[in-house]
Amino acid sequence: MKRLWAILIATVMVATLLAGCGSKTSTEKTIEEKTSVSENSDSTEDKGAFNGASGKVTIWYYWETEGHQKALDHLIQTFNDSQEDITVEAKYVPFADFKKQLSIGASADELPDLVILDNPDHAAYAAMGIFADLTDKFDVSTYYDGPVNSCTLDGRLYGVPFGSNCLLLFYNEDMLKAAGREVPTTWDELLETAKACTTDKVSGFAHSSLQNEEGTFNFLTWVWSTGATAYEINSEGGIKALKMVKELVDSGAMTKEAINWTQGDTMNQFISGNLAMMLNGTWQIPTMRSEAPDLKWNVAPIPMDVQQASGLGGENYAVIAGGNEEAAIEFLKFATSKEQSLYMMNTMGYISPDSTIAEGQFKGDPVYEAFVEEMKYAYARGPLPEWPDISDAISLAFNEVMTGASTPEDAAAKAQATIDGILGK
Q: Residues 117, 258: one domain? A: no
Q: Residues 188, 285: one domain? A: yes
Q: Residues 22, 36: one domain? A: yes
Residue 393, classed as helix, strand or coil, is helix
DSSP-derived pairing of the beta strands 167-172 and 277-281: antiparallel
Domain interval for residue 268: 167-311+386-423
Report how far apart, in Å, the C-alpha atoms of 5 and of each of 2, 9, 31, 128, 129 are: 8, 8, 27, 10, 8
pTM: 0.78
Question: What is the Cβ-side half-sphere exposure of residue 124, based on CA atoms within 13 angstroms?
Answer: 23
Q: Residues 63, 179: one domain? A: no
Tell the burial category of 43 from Cβ atoms under 10 Å away from its Cβ (0-12, 13-18, 19+): exposed
Q: Residues 211, 265: one domain? A: yes
- 214: domain CATH number is 3.40.190.10
- Which pLDDT belongs to residue 275? 98
Q: Residues 78, 40: one domain? A: yes
- Which pLDDT belongs to residue 329? 97
Report how far apart, in Å, the C-alpha atoms of 311 and of each of 63, 263, 282 are: 18, 14, 12
* pLDDT tens string 298-334: 999 999 999 999 999 999 999 999 999 999 999 999 9
Total tally of structural domains belonging to the chain: 2
Q: Residues 135, 72: one domain? A: yes
- What are the backbone angles phi and psi of residue 242, rounded to the nearest 5°? -65, -40
Question: What is the Cβ-side half-sphere exposure of residue 181, based on CA atoms within 13 angstroms?
Answer: 24
Question: Whole-angstrom Cα distance, residue 65 to residue 271?
Answer: 14
- Which pLDDT belongs to residue 49? 65
Report how far apart, in Å, the C-alpha atoms of 227 and of each of 13, 387, 393 are: 32, 20, 19
Q: Residues 48, 172: one domain? A: no
Is residue 15 over pLDDT 70?
no
Q: Residues 88, 146: one domain? A: yes
* pLDDT tens string 350-359: 999 999 899 8
Residue pair 197/204 in contact by the 8 Å Cβ criterion:
yes
Q: Angle at which helices 325-335 and 338-348 pack, to 10 degrees?
A: 70
Q: Residues 304, 412: one domain? A: yes
- Which pLDDT belongs to residue 145? 87
